[in-house]
Structure 1
Amino acid sequence: MDKNNILAVLEQLIIGQHFQCEWGIEWNEQQHYFELIFQFSLPNPNGISFKDAFGNSISYTTIPYETSILFYDKDHLNVEHSNYVNSIPISHNQGIAYGELFAIVKYLKHLTSSVRVEWLDYLFDSPHDAYFEICWNDHDFAQIKKGLIEANRYNSAPVFFPKNEAKGGLY
């Protein structure tokens, strides 16, 4: 594993946390960003009808749900509005601290672990025309990061976007 490559580091951190969902990383080299995507199969025991992202009505016994986090090079991409749980800027020159990435993964483990419970609450307690989504909570993330710092488990060594060797070492 390249200890300076954010994609390799992130993959190892996620594998180490044993996420209980499908996940993947999609790297867009030309646009200088990558998405960390989470996919869930959520139960729909009563066959309630929902509208998908395209406005189609679905009433499967298992509802597919996908959400993602955007990591982007703030020196090359300007993110104004997004449909992500969170958008995380990373400096091309300074990278992102390994500890910050570790805190993000720990927080995402907590967040994704609660999806089924939140889904069932939504399914039985909410009007079904409301949109189901999971939300990033800055305070909860800060608590995880603070805990890592206090336990001396926060490593400030930077990790960076992958380099493209075909472009002379620049990505």
Structure 2
Amino acid sequence: MKKETMLDYLDKQIDKQLSEFDTAIDWDTRNHTIELMVRLFAENNAGEAIDDSEGISSQEEIIEFEDGILFFNTEKGKQEPNPEDFLAVIPFDGKKGISKAVIDSVLVYLNDVLTDGLDDLLEFLNNPDKEFFELIWDEEEYKNILKQAGTDLEIYLPYPSY
């Protein structure tokens, strides 16, 4: 029987914990990273012109906001990814992989972030005084959730072989 990998477990848990949100997984075998991309959608009923982070303006009826969490291999010797490019950057331990508790905690907290984020996105679209929208990842809040994991911190899921 094939041993469950961090990618298998992540995919399975996303289906359980983030089923209300649009998600995708991008496994970059060359750079030994796994990106969990999330998208929020909201109606732009007023047809307001909205500028994205790159200054591109849109008046689309449906606004799509995308962000991601990057799981990266600390043993590959490459420079750590720029945290500004992602909602969160989560390291894992080479072939050893990552603990179940880390994945579970990331997804529990991400669900909270996305739920709050969707409310904030709707407020942004409906409140002309709100100048920008972004998802907020509070590292301390995430670590508090992770502290509650207990013994699951010792159960590791290996990095997938290709």
TM-score above 0.5: yes
Query: Could you say if the C-alpha distance between residues 61 and 2 of structure 1 is closer, same or farther in structure 2, counting changes exceeding 3 Å?
Result: farther
SS in 2 for 1:10: helix
| 1:37 has 2:37 as partner | yes
Structure 1 CA distance for aligned equivalents of residues 17 and 110 of structure 2: 10
TM-score normalised over the length of structure 2: 0.86
Q: Deviations over 1:77-132 (max 9, x none)?
A: 322424100111111143211111111111111111222111123331412xx4x2
Aligned length: 158
- Alignment-derived partner of residue 140 in structure 1: 141
Structure 1 residues 140 and 54, CA gap change in structure 2 (3 angstroms): closer
- TM-score when scaled to structure 1? 0.82
Q: Structure 1 residues 2 and 24, CA, compared in 2 at 3 Å: closer, same or farther? A: farther
What pairs with 1:2-21 in structure 2 (closer than 5 Å)? 2-21=2-21
Q: Please give the per-residue CA displacement for 1:23-78, whole angstroms capped at 9, x wherever unaligned.
A: 01001101111110011212222111012355332112210111100111111132
Instruction: Specify the alignment match of 1:110 in structure 2.
Output: 112
CA RMSD of aligned residues (A): 2.1
Matches for 1:1-171 after TM superposition, within 5 Å: 2-52=2-52, 55-76=55-76, 77-81=78-82, 82-123=84-125, 124=127, 125-127=129-131, 130=132, 132-149=133-150, 154-164=152-162
Identity of aligned residues (%): 23
| Correspondence for 1:168 | none
State the distance in 1 between where 2:3 and 2:17 align.
18
